[in-house]
Amino acid sequence: MRRGIGLGLVAVALVGAIVVVATNRGSRDLRIVVPPGTMERIEAGEQVELLPRVLEVRVGDRLVIVNDDDATHQVGPYLVGPGQRLEQRFTRPGRIEGLCTLHPSGEVAIVVRD
């Protein structure tokens, strides 16, 4: 059983994940970690999907993107350089669309709901 858990953790570390954490204010933190080697995988033709094509959030939620890769990544209007961390709190409802290097379609829509 331990070996299976260890292998699962390694798999998550290699492919990245989106983690949602509830805060004491009733909002959520959505954390996306871009692992090292992500751009190399994309350039090699691999399908990299670190977030959904449509990301639904609520007013007050915060999107946190940690880029551990050695390349700049784009999520809609947000650029995150190598080794950088982006934090964006959503303050009003709406829809944000744009290019995305972290989804195979190359696009993302962030839908902010009340």
Q: Cα separations (Å) of 48 from 6, 21, 52, 71, 91?
A: 22, 23, 11, 14, 29
Give the model's pLDDT for residue 26: 81
What pTM does this model have? 0.79
Listed as ranges, residues in the chain with pLDDT below 70 are: 1-17, 20-25
Is beta strand 17-22 parallel, antiparallel or unpaired with respect to 28-34? antiparallel
pLDDT for residue 62: 97
Q: Give the span between the Cα atoms of 32 and 64, in whole angstroms.
A: 6
What are the structural domains of the chain? 2-113 (2.60.40.420)
pLDDT at residue 99, as a whole number: 98
